[in-house]
Amino acid sequence: MPHVKFTVVRPPKMDVEAANRIMRNALRTEGRHILKDFEETTKTWDHEVEFKTHTHLALADVKMSVEVETDDEIYHFVSGGTKKHKIPKVPKKEGYLVFQTGYTAKTKRGIIGSSSGGSFGSFASAKQVDHPGTKARRFPTTIWKKRMPEFYAAMWGAWRQAIKATGYGG
């Protein structure tokens, strides 16, 4: 009768912490690149916009993400656009809005950046202004289109490194 022997082969202990460290570092690096692109959209603005970056990693579910957010109202108006609207007078002694008659936008749709621009021309005053609205710049969409291929490649590269670091990679 033939003889068969079964042997249990125990794999090496998985270094999950090493995998987590590699993936978190890659997410933070990508987060800095994405944040830089968002900051570029406001580089020449007269007021500072504060962005916050959050990274999320769930290795068990293979979910990785970077979120960049701001609660800056003006940024949301420029990025999301506005409809036509009336600007009522500001309650001051004069009772009139005072503004320059010309304006060049500092940002453009589809462009990650901010150039010189702003108000120019003679001054005018009115009790109320009919604002024509603002075309949405859609910064998040533009940045996503630029960064997603790079993010995807970086995360796959980090994933391969992480697998090797666990002791199971080839």
- Tens of pLDDT, residue by residue over 53-70, are 999 988 777 788 999 999
Q: Is residue 1 part of a domain?
A: no
- Return the half-sphere exposure (C-beta side, CA atoms, 13 A cut-off) of residue 108: 6
pLDDT at 170 over 80: no
Q: Is residue 153 part of a domain?
A: yes
Q: Is residue 100 part of a domain?
A: yes
Range of the domain at 55: 16-166
pLDDT at 93 over 80: no
Cα angle, residue 80 at apex, residues 75 and 83 outer, rounded to 5°: 110
Q: Is residue 154 part of a domain?
A: yes
Q: Is residue 76 part of a domain?
A: yes
For the entire predicted model, the pTM comes to: 0.82
Top-confidence residue, 88 or 62: 88
Among residues 54, 48, 52, 81, which one has the least CA distance to residue 66? 54
- The highest-confidence range among 2-16, 72-86, 121-135, by mean pLDDT, is 72-86
Q: Is residue 81 part of a domain?
A: yes
Number of domains in the chain: 1
